[in-house]
Amino acid sequence: NYTFMVTLTNDIKMQVSRSYMKGFKVAIGLS
């Protein structure tokens, strides 16, 4: 199902960017 794949990919992108931003803020806080 194409729509399901797109939704799944977007969900993964959101999770990755969210965890990336979290790590980014932590790195700024530590520096």
Give the per-residue pLDDT at 27: 87
| Spatial distance between the Cα atoms of 30 and 15, rounded to a whole number of angstroms | 23
Give the per-residue pLDDT at 9: 95
How does pLDDT run across 1-31, given as a tens digit for each residue? 789 999 999 999 999 999 999 988 888 888 7
Phi then psi for residue 29, to 5 deg, are -65, -35
Structure tokens that stand for 14 in this block: 């959101």
Residue type, 7: T
Phi then psi for residue 3, to 5 deg, are -60, -40
> Whose structure tokens read 């990336």?
20
Residue type, 21: M
Give the per-residue pLDDT at 15: 95
Give the per-residue pLDDT at 10: 94
